[in-house]
Amino acid sequence: MEIVIQPVSERSIDSLVALIGELARFEHLDPPDEAAQARLRADALRAAPPFEAYLALADGEPVGCVTLIAAYSTFAARPKLYIEDLFVRDGHRGRGVGERLFDFCVGLARARGCARLEWNALRWNTAAHRFYERRKGRQVDEWVWYELDPSAG
């Protein structure tokens, strides 16, 4: 099986949207509605997109994706890269696709001189924990992850 990682393009944006819908269902969340899908398409294809998106193709078929956000570490005074989503379709897990996507991210972080590559995983997703720990990822227990929906008032 040949695995190729390529940036999302106008031609492949629908595959990214479909994969993100599958990821949402895997995480027991509602998938993006039509308005969110339209925003996702528009944002991904802007001249200066707010995130980077890549597809993993196995023998030409889209089977996984990764989305990344560039950030900056003020303490290290260097950029850092954040993995927002890394997903592989169910039938293709355990076949090296996730490793290729993750290694691709590591390569980007190295090439850009990043201080860190960061991500999070759901507490219940122990398969993801094992995957990242095999790749030398470490849990950071000193920090507590917070979020806030600014539209919630």
Q: Note the pLDDT tens digit of each residue in 14-67.
A: 999 999 999 999 999 999 999 999 999 999 999 999 999 999 999 999 999 999
Pairwise CA distance, residues 81 & 116, whole Å: 7
Pairwise CA distance, residues 30 & 19, whole Å: 13
Give the CA diameter of the chain. 49
Q: Note the pLDDT tens digit of each residue in 62-120.
A: 999 999 999 999 999 999 999 999 999 999 999 999 999 999 999 999 999 999 999 99
- Which domains are present in the chain? 3-152 (3.40.630.30)
Give yes or no: 82 in active site: no
Pairwise CA distance, residues 127 & 130, whole Å: 5
**Whether the Cβ atoms of residue 58 and residue 93 lie closer than 8 Å to each other:** no
Pairwise CA distance, residues 54 & 86, whole Å: 10
Pairwise CA distance, residues 6 & 12, whole Å: 10
**Annotated catalytic residue within 54, 72, 82, 132:** 132
pLDDT band for position 134 (cuts 50, 70, 90): very high
